[in-house]
Structure 1
Amino acid sequence: MVSHPDSAIGSRRALLIGVGITVAVFVAGLYWAKWAPYLAKATAAARSHEWSGRDILGVGGVRAGDAPSWAAATGFFEAYVLSIWPALAVALLLSACVQALLPRAWLPRMLNRRGVVSTALAGGAASMPSMMCTCCAAPVAVTLRRSGVTRAAAVAYWLGNPLLNPAVLVFLLFVAPWQWTVTRLVVGVAAVVGIATVVGVLTRRDGLARVGDAVHPAVGDGDAPQPAARRFVTALLRLCVVLLPEYLAIVLLIGATRGWLLSLIEPGHRGLLVVLVAAVLGTLLVIPTAGEIPILQGLALLGVSSGVLGALLITLPAVSLPGVAMVVRGFGWKTVAVTTVMVVAAGMVGAAMLKMLTMLP
């Protein structure tokens, strides 16, 4: 069957409109939610060399050892959601645009490289402009997997958002000891590339054919079964219904139990075991972007060891229990388990590196 010229022109026009809308959501959304606010924060930090943000784990006066309570849960929930909702909204909109408006083959062609290391590097590099926390990056990472992007690239994107965030590195440089910035940069790059590479090697035999089954065909993939607007709304609703309920429930749970969790890293505790506990704890807790800065500053003032600080510097932003809940369906339990265990290991490396750097003259 010969395609009609008008149909081909209409398809190209729809493709251009879809790409234009997606780019507009990406640029305008990130400028509103990330780029402009972070530029203002960086300017203020450069001028004052102080961090104005508050320790979200202490919201509501919760201290280490406090028993779980509904007030602790709702206080943390409110503070956290108010901090991250713009980025989460942009992430959901951008994910729906990618699923509904872009050809499915585009993202795999951009991110899936011949080598697993180059694939990890591509995913990490792609993460740096969005600068999201682990939970806000999760919907986009899930969409990457559904679009046919390999696990290596998707994991690198997911981890790279918080660990390779250039704004947080600038913040640390202005308001924290230089050792923190060096540790975060060196261990962060090694963690993103290394973990994604290991995931890619371990899952290399997993086929990609079933990855995109849940995604509606996008513009350029043939005759679309639904109009673009309907595909967009369907994708957005699916993301909200599947990802948000358990994510928000886990945020409430963490808020309620944070007093007990914080008691595990009290200043009086010393040794390798408490560093390991801190590394594991950091993978459970959820914080907004740059939320680790006031937490670590507060712990440092209390006399917490440099090993604990180094572990949390890596694991607090890298993954979280709510973030894991959001990506596990798209990534699979094997990928999530390997990623989480290796993040804990990266936290231990961060602990050793920060302790070594603080001993330098």
Structure 2
Amino acid sequence: MSGPKALIPIGQQHRRKTVWLAVLFVLITIAGLTYVKWWPYYGKALSAAAERSIGTSILDAGRSAGTPSLQAAWEYALLYFKAVWKAAVLGILLGTLLQSMLPSQWLLKVLGKTTFGSTAAGGLAALPGMMCSCCAAPVAIGMRKQKVSTGAALAFWIGNPTLNPAVLVFMTFVLSWKFTLLRLFFGILLTFGVSYLANRFADPKAVADLHSVEASERDQAAEPWWKRWVSNMASMLLKVIPAYVLAVLILGALQVWMFPHLGETAGNDLIMIFFFAVMGMLFVIPTAAEIPIIQSFMAFGLGTGPAAALLLTLPAISLPSLLMLRKSFPAKVLGFVILSVVALGILCGIAGMLVL
């Protein structure tokens, strides 16, 4: 047949473009996680096995004055952001690229339902990420912008810090396998159970309709993906990051009240467990920082009960990450998560008091 080659149908062009963008997103994700998380954590695991330590407590910064101060806020923020900035940049990059490069209809087929299956898929997707709650928050924001269900997005957000495989390995070497089992048991309850139940506090009408999403994406097909990415990045930087930075500074200033100096009177009692469950839920730390914090506190006399409460609540969520996600989830959902983290932290503390 003579003449120019037949043009590729518009629908087929769009499908090819979508596949290539998805492949590019996966490659960026693998490269980023290898550089920021997987390779550094391999070396850290070897160090933890050899030295039974992964460093000093980050709470040593700014505590000498004994009262909240701008200096304490600044010193803690410097230490914190020095530890997390690479992961934070990666989280923002992946969260905005997810909105721009992956089609919602693909995500919704796996993560768009209020079933336990979607929640489980979100939690399992968190395991390779190994991010802290604040670094995982931009990705959860992107998932919610793509109409992923409440349960699946929450499981991804909470599962990243709570079920981090590398942290579980560090914990076994530095603390003990009993601490690891406690963290794993209550982490599974929090990641999969609480996230699934949180679907009941979300608006049923907010569940995305696949057909309407497909129609919307066809309308947007003509717009270059990079324009959407620039818009999403600007929105993230202007609306999300300032609250994150401010909250870190405030918590850095208040850390001396939230985690007072311990003496011989610090031991195993319910008041201490409750106190540290609440403080751990609010405070913000880099990935795995709960391990040297607990190690340091126990050396100064903290009992295994309050230590076990911190084991769960310190990494699970934080005030900065909650502020970052305040527009992505209904207030009732976030309130339920806060209460659940504190409640499970108290139960973990009681279990730690009894078995550790």
Superposition TM-score, scaled by structure 2 size: 0.91
Alignment of 1:1-361 (within 5 A): 5-48=8-51, 50-60=52-62, 62-63=63-64, 66-113=66-113, 115=115, 117-203=116-202, 205-209=204-208, 221-224=218-221, 226-263=223-260, 268-270=265-267, 271-358=269-356
Following superposition, the deviation at residue 9 of structure 1 comes to 4.4
Q: How many residue pairs end up in the alignment?
A: 349
**Cα pair 1:135 1:322 within 8 Å, conserved:** yes
One-letter code aligned to 2:341? V
**Cα pair 1:25 1:90 within 8 Å, conserved:** no
Following superposition, the deviation at residue 57 of structure 1 comes to 1.4
**Cα pair 1:128 1:160 within 8 Å, conserved:** yes
Would the alpha carbon gap of residues 332 and 4 (structure 1) be closer, same or farther in structure 2, given more than 3 Å must change? Answer: farther
- Per-residue CA distance 1:164-186 (angstroms, 9 max, x = gap): 10000000111112221111111
One-letter code aligned to 2:193? G
Aligned-partner Cα distance in 1 for 2:95–2:140: 9
- Per-residue CA distance 1:172-226 (angstroms, 9 max, x = gap): 111112221111111111121121122013326242359xx9x9x99x6444352
One-letter code aligned to 2:102? L
Aligned-partner Cα distance in 1 for 2:92–2:277: 29
- Per-residue CA distance 1:11-36 (angstroms, 9 max, x = gap): 23321331122112110001111001
Would the alpha carbon gap of residues 68 and 14 (structure 1) be closer, same or farther in structure 2, given more than 3 Å must change? Answer: same
**Cα pair 2:305 2:349 within 8 Å, conserved:** yes
Q: Structure 1: which 5+ residue stretches go unaligned? A: none
Q: Structure 2: which 5+ residue stretches go unaligned? A: 1-5
Aligned-partner Cα distance in 1 for 2:21–2:70: 44
Would the alpha carbon gap of residues 51 and 264 (structure 1) be closer, same or farther in structure 2, given more than 3 Å must change? Answer: closer
Following superposition, the deviation at residue 301 of structure 1 comes to 0.4
**Cα pair 1:99 1:232 within 8 Å, conserved:** yes
Q: Which runs of 4+ in 1 moved over 3 A?
A: 220-223, 264-267
Matched position secondary structure for 1:135: helix
Following superposition, the deviation at residue 119 of structure 1 comes to 2.7
Aligned-partner Cα distance in 1 for 2:177–2:294: 14
Following superposition, the deviation at residue 355 of structure 1 comes to 1.7
Matched position secondary structure for 2:206: coil
**Cα pair 1:30 1:130 within 8 Å, conserved:** yes
Following superposition, the deviation at residue 266 of structure 1 comes to 5.9
Aligned-partner Cα distance in 1 for 2:146–2:262: 41
One-letter code aligned to 1:263? P
**Cα pair 1:265 1:278 within 8 Å, conserved:** no
Aligned-partner Cα distance in 2 for 1:134–1:289: 8
**Cα pair 1:264 1:278 within 8 Å, conserved:** no
Aligned-partner Cα distance in 2 for 1:174–1:153: 31
Matched position secondary structure for 1:263: coil
Aligned-partner Cα distance in 2 for 1:112–1:162: 22
One-letter code aligned to 1:230? K
Would the alpha carbon gap of residues 223 and 339 (structure 1) be closer, same or farther in structure 2, given more than 3 Å must change? Answer: closer
**Cα pair 2:68 2:254 within 8 Å, conserved:** yes
**Cα pair 2:54 2:174 within 8 Å, conserved:** no
One-letter code aligned to 2:56? R
One-letter code aligned to 1:18? L
Matched position secondary structure for 1:67: coil
Aligned-partner Cα distance in 2 for 1:8–1:137: 34
- Per-residue CA distance 1:269-301 (angstroms, 9 max, x = gap): 452122111100001100000000010000110
Let me know the Cα RMSD of the aligned residues: 2.4
Aligned-partner Cα distance in 2 for 1:128–1:45: 20
**Cα pair 2:282 2:319 within 8 Å, conserved:** yes
